[in-house]
Amino acid sequence: MIIQGYQEPESFLAAAQRQLEQLGIQGKAFITKNTDGSPKRRSIKIKRFTVVGFGLEIINLSNEDSLTLLRYGIGGKRKMGCGVFVPVKRKGNAS
């Protein structure tokens, strides 16, 4: 996910959480981690510019909040494939 002006994990996460709250979404955002525990940084090259973002997971979403997030999204560059949310299945998760 890309949020313009936020390229450090802490400020990015705070900006993402604010965007969720502005949409009335009660979920909690977390930056996904690499196997070594570091934030999963993502980048996309647009013409001569490289834009940096992070993998993001949103937990504790109600069905309504999930649909709102899918409908409106957060962050930028969604037309270029950034900020696409997909369900996460964990081991032992029956859903």
- Looking at the predicted structure, is the pLDDT value of residue 56 above 50? yes
No. of helices (H) and no. of strands (E), the chain: 2, 4
Residue 76 binned pLDDT confidence (cut-offs 50, 70, 90): confident
Q: Which of 26-30, 66-70, 71-75, 82-86 is least confident?
A: 82-86
Q: Where are the alpha helices (DSSP H) in 1-95?
A: 9-22, 63-72
What is the gyration radius of the CA atoms in the chain, in angstroms?
Answer: 14
Q: Quote the mean pLDDT of the chain.
A: 83
**CA atoms of 80 and 50, how far apart (whole Å):** 13
Residue 74 binned pLDDT confidence (cut-offs 50, 70, 90): confident
Task: Report domain extents, the chain.
Answer: 9-80
**CA atoms of 20 and 8, how far apart (whole Å):** 18
